[in-house]
Amino acid sequence: MNVQEIEALRKEIKDYTEAHLLPFWSKRTIDKEYGGYLTHFDEFGNDSGTDEKSLIAQTRSVFTYSQAYRHGFGGPIMKEMAEHGVKYLIEKMWDEKNGGFYWMMDRKGNATNKQKIGYGHSFVIYSLSEYTLATGDPIGLEYAEKTFDLLQKYAVDTNLGGYWEFFSEEWELMGAGSPGGDRKTLDVHMHLMEAFTTLYEASGKEVHRRKLKESIDILIQKIMHPVYGTGVPQFWADWSVAPQIKFDIVWGWDRFAEGGQKASAVDNTSYGHNSEFGWLLMQALRIGKFPVSDYMDNLKKAFYHSMEHGIDWEFGGVFVEGSHDGQVYDKEKEFWQQAEMLIGMADAYILTKDQDFLKAYRQVHRFVFDKMINFNTGEWWPLLTREGEPIWRHMSHSWKINYHNVRSMILSYEKLGEAAKVLANSN
């Protein structure tokens, strides 16, 4: 790619995000009657009527509108939408008695699942910290810090390190097996790194920086594959690899039928996660002021594996997952892997100056804009065939929400600007 092509891609991103993607949400997601956000929309952008408001969708939406406002996308309405969501989180989803946030509400604001889930609380910290950074409103950071303190009190494994994830309403660890109380996951630790990065950026407190460094080291030393540097999904308490199972509280497993099994319960890794890990680690190192040189090998392994094995050089886009040594198991195209690969490939080029990453970026970018975006609504299809035909047709539900793709557009726009400077200086 040359600088002119990069600038053309940036313009395509900016025009689409402002004219189509953000308006999809600003026109329909605010629940004026009961508070919070409506997050379930069908193929045509109509409210599907689903009677739930999940912690994951509410917090991710707060993050989306806060980040858009902070980065100059979407105009003043983004701030108003973020404020609306924060009010709902604190007034309806916060557990005054036990602390923490309920996992699931109905539309009217009644708690239907009061469990405390580490994954959801990582997004509480992430979104509320971003909200304070974007708006200056201190209430976001106040509740982000309260949530951080609760995780240190209840979720840390003080014996073997890392964080437990699944708790009852009273913060009692759940039982073994599908309740999730005997496993540690890549998901929650990666998102805690992401959350602690933004928390430290907002607070400047050394305790948050120390916990950020600890989360980075857990990921590097315990969770990423010792040879390939790729993400391993689930572990036992002692950090030995556990077969990947479906938990009772679940996100992102819609594609696996009840009782279904992945191609390998042990040897599988997500290309989107590996790319996301790479760029989130770069962000953590930058905000925490940790030396990138100490983690260069880890960054390169994550980025090169996702590019070399995950990019579909024939049809474009990125595959879902495969083995650690490179065999592709699932060649369908899911929305969030595309989003994370865009940011990761741009960052990988900035880090390495290897133009293969720009070629990989272009492969995913064109697939997204030519196949994944449903321009009738402005949102993305959730799941496509390898060639780019929709398999699922809804626009949004509790885990297919605005967070991945809006963040991807904002950060890809900015990182491509940086990549253009790197490219211009290298010629």
Mean local confidence (pLDDT), 226-245: 94
Instruction: Read off the amino acid at residue 275.
Output: S
264 pLDDT more than 70: no
Mean local confidence (pLDDT), 421-425: 97
Q: Which domains does the chain have, with CATH numbers?
A: 3-425 (1.50.10.10)
What is each CA distance from 405 to 76, 219, 328, 396, in whole angstroms?
20, 24, 24, 12
253 pLDDT more than 60: no
Q: How many C-beta neighbours within 10 Å does residue 377 have?
A: 21
Q: Between vectors from CA 275 to CA 23 and to CA 256, what angle results, nearest 5°?
A: 75
pLDDT for the residue 260: 42
Using DSSP's 3-state secondary structure scheme, residue 303 falls into helix
Tell me, yes or no, if the pTM score tops 0.95: yes
pLDDT for the residue 259: 43
Q: How many C-beta neighbours within 10 Å does residue 302 have?
A: 30
Give the pLDDT confidence of 47-79 residue by residue, as tens digits. Answer: 999 999 999 999 999 999 999 999 999 999 999
Closest CA to 45 of 21, 12, 69: 21
CA–CA distance, 157 with 154 (Å, rounded to integer): 9
